[in-house]
Amino acid sequence: MRILLVEDNHRLSDTLRLSLADDGYAVDVAYDGQAGEEFAESTPYDVIILDVMLPLRSGIEVCRSLRNNHVQTPILMLTARDALEDRVLGLDSGADDYLVKPFEMKELLARLRALLRRESEDKSGLITIGDLSLDPATHFVRRGGQPIDLTSREYGLLEYLARNPNRLITRQMAENHLWSYDAIVASNVVDVYIRRLRRKLDDPFEVNLDDP
């Protein structure tokens, strides 16, 4: 899944980016509201993490502008302000959730998963296709009750495909969701990961997942 992080504190931004990447997310970073808004309007993100106090344009202004321009990507706002009025203002501007600094990384990850669940029919968070099940909270994958060991990138591709079962996914779309904009990837990298997934998910079983 691909996340846009808009945070002007470079130290915090770097910490969050690394932690999110370790959890399997592709992360693009902007350090001011204007750049963040441009990113959000030009790229389909799964979630936007948006600080309130930003240079050039505040998070409130960015959030309100995105909603006015029909960008419906879930937005999690970050702020050092914990007053009720500030939280209400953030939510009324179009944010989906609100997290007060300082916070634990575990809580941020849990809130991101909750936002993604809102887009899913299965509110338990599990993603199930036939006898294949994925748990986004743990990245644990089973097929027919048998655990499947995947790398973080393999899991990311599998989850993206599983969340879009009836949609044509091009190589470019997969790349855009799995790698940040500044990543350098080989032209056949998606094909390589698809082959790896087939070996792990299909080869040990009698029936392939894509068989009718």
Burial class (CB in 10 A: 0-12, 13-18, 19+), 5: buried
Q: Residue range 102-118: average pLDDT? A: 89
Q: Residue range 187-194: average pLDDT? A: 88
pLDDT value at residue 123: 46
127-201 has which fold? Arc Repressor Mutant, subunit A (1.10.10)
Fold matches, 2-117 and 127-201: no
Q: What is the CATH number of domain 2-117?
A: 3.40.50.2300
Give the confidence band of 29 by pLDDT, cuts at 50, 70, 90: very high
The larger pLDDT score, comparing residue 185 to residue 126, is at: 126
Calculate ∠ Cα 140-142-143, nearest 5°: 160
Helix orientation angle between 152-162 and 171-178, rounded to the nearest 10 degrees: 120
pTM over 0.85, yes/no? no
pLDDT value at residue 119: 63
Domain residue limits, the chain: 2-117, 127-201
pLDDT value at residue 63: 96
Within 10 Å of residue 71's Cβ, how many Cβ atoms?
Answer: 18
| Whether residue 197 has pLDDT greater than 70 | yes
